[in-house]
Structure 1
């Protein structure tokens, strides 16, 4: 009788950070408590983790099995695959033309009001074909993966018509089917009031609720619905109407809250039971306390603050209040044109005052729960997806401290090596 085969054993790991522990988003001191195993190993079968721990114990546990392949980690640091819970991956064009305006002190909302910002990207996205959007997004997704991301949320919101929102979400669906990285889609038709509805926001809100949401739901193009609740964009009441309608249709809901003006978006997130509230630069104590009471995850986007030269979200306050904190690139063509979660790690330390352990928690298990994937990704545990990153770094602190380069050597997604020596495996 032939011995059962194990697909892959990753061994000789210097430090293996598993993120095993609580089966929910971590809060408070839990974010600092990460399990690190010296001389570790991970065994993988059918795309899932079947054993994880000290190498000597894993080999003993599987002594009657045969390893079809073995990968020597050469004492590298290994973590779960990184999870990005907030991106605008699919879009047309870019907005480097706005850099000069930013340098001259023109604000984000002023650029938007003048027809730039989101409106500029909407026009470029509407003009682009589905194939053009697909190729552009695929290239960015390759970069995400090469920098360690294995699961990425992707929002629509640059179409603002049913046809063009559909186009964006179809591209995301194609990428989910063809690219190694897992995508989680969010409908964000309420990203801005389109220029053709200027002064008629109520009419556009009605269109989102009664035309767009039902079609997106019927064709299963998105799991989440998001709204940009902001001064000059959507009011708290308009956001409430859209999110309540989405919730009634079976969407999970999240919200861009209190990014620039303290509108009460954080309180609305708590009131409606949003899975997450995102940005939160201007969130009040009352808003954060409401989020804490309801267990709303706070998704902080330090690269956006850095690029806009804006104040940062109060991540330390959130942790003190017991809010689960996640981190994201907010990849988009205007306020955060970066696919590097490793850059966000450094900004999370220097500008949000988070420790390396808190940062990894925020980019793995908490980020996974922010997009309803905490039961399958975000930690290295038996039965979960075998998503691992091997870094050419000795420890977590070095990963955060040595910035401006890509530390990733190898990425394993669903048990398959998809990045080797920093390059995508064709």
Structure 2
């Protein structure tokens, strides 16, 4: 006699790509997936459905591919203003670093963001977030870092929290106060780091606005010693850390992430074999950001072959920001991850799901289709999952489900 099951919802006539970390290439043709209480209750071949199983609602997938909801694990979507003038300068041959040293780059966005109210920040951020949601994103990381003073940083993080409350979307926040040196602290980087460690980060953490701590370890930003001081503060506050590491030069950021058992090291256009070994030993994720490479026309690439050989998990994200990656599109990140970085389609899809979940500390909650995990998934009208990577500028998303509920695709 078969096992009887009662579910809230059941999807039939779907092909499943669970993207479980142990075997991300495994598929189930003509499958089914059941949901109970916002969690995945059953999945497998339709022919293996439990005898007598019932569901309050049944959905016909029409032969679509059902994948975990995408996770964009590195974004700067909350900001004000735009920087297309810098795009023009780069097209005339000026470098990102040279523009930044003249007070452009991040500080340009800082000026606009400081001047924006909370409602203005929310209004400017919503279109970017909705575009990601249309592309099947169900979990989004949002960084601060364009305020660089207590109230503006808090305002950014409050907007990020509002996005997670007001939209059917899981939002994780990262405090990136160590993104650039604010102009009022010119020549006094250590004093600014002291402000971050002694006042800003503890206050924001006490308000429940911070899920993780990030920093930009670079010659135009902060040294490894300064970042280490910030990470020590994060450790005392029991907050996980991550790092913008090796984008323009290798200052040992990957080793620092490994030493602190960080969630991820992001960018990694420049990273040593020692840094790769440190990430592997710590179980930290390498977050690859091909949008920045594309928009900055970088010739340096993350050493994907070495990361792969070392067994370092590779996540993939949009890095959506106003300057170096104005790209609110996880689908574009999939395509560029393959074409620019040499990822296989399976690696790219795993990078935007199960490995992205690990980069946010969410492996037990979401990122793959497994019993007990959140019912976060999307249906795609494609013949093969690789089409999601092979196509640019077309969105084949048919339906998005977040925590077991069908989510309207934003208009």
Whether the TM-score (by the shorter chain) exceeds 0.5 is yes
Match of 1:35 among 26, 48, 53: 26
Give CA deviations for 1:191-212 in whole Å, capped at 9, x if unaligned. Answer: 1000111111111011000010
The Cα shift of 1:68 comes to 2.1
Q: Secondary structure at the residue paired with 2:154? A: helix
Contact 1:9 / 1:69 at 8 angstroms: preserved in 2?
yes
The Cα shift of 1:151 comes to 0.3
| Residue 115 of structure 1 pairs with residue 107 of structure 2 | no
Counting only pairs closer than 5 Å after superposition, residues 61-210 of structure 1 correspond to structure 2 as: 61=51, 63-65=52-54, 67-210=55-198
Coordinate RMSD, CA, aligned? 1.5
Give CA deviations for 1:401-421 in whole Å, capped at 9, x if unaligned. Answer: 1222112111111111114xx
Structure 1 stretches of at least 4 aligned residues deviating more than 3 Å after TM superposition: none
Q: Secondary structure at the residue paired with 2:104? A: coil
Counting only pairs closer than 5 Å after superposition, residues 21-420 of structure 1 correspond to structure 2 as: 22=22, 33-58=24-49, 60-61=50-51, 63-65=52-54, 67-310=55-298, 311-419=300-408
Q: Secondary structure at the residue paired with 2:130? A: helix
Contact 1:302 / 1:313 at 8 angstroms: preserved in 2?
no
Contact 2:19 / 2:68 at 8 angstroms: preserved in 1?
yes
C-alpha change, 1:324 and 1:21, in structure 2 (3 Å) is closer
- What TM-score do you get using the length of structure 2 for normalisation? 0.96
The Cα shift of 1:92 comes to 0.7
Q: d(CA) in 2 for partners of 1:184 and 1:406?
A: 25
Q: d(CA) in 2 for partners of 1:368 and 1:172?
A: 18
The aligned counterpart of 2:9 is 8
Q: What is the count of residue pairs matched by the alignment?
A: 407
C-alpha change, 1:21 and 1:91, in structure 2 (3 Å) is closer
Q: d(CA) in 2 for partners of 1:4 and 1:368?
A: 29
Give CA deviations for 1:333-374 in whole Å, capped at 9, x if unaligned. Answer: 111111111111111111111111111111111100110111
Q: d(CA) in 1 for partners of 2:211 and 2:240?
A: 6
The Cα shift of 1:271 comes to 1.8
Q: Secondary structure at the residue paired with 1:424? A: coil
Q: d(CA) in 2 for partners of 1:159 and 1:281?
A: 26
What 5-or-longer segments of structure 2 have no aligned partner?
Answer: none
Q: d(CA) in 1 for partners of 2:53 and 2:10?
A: 14
Contact 1:141 / 1:181 at 8 angstroms: preserved in 2?
no
The Cα shift of 1:5 comes to 5.1
Contact 2:276 / 2:307 at 8 angstroms: preserved in 1?
yes
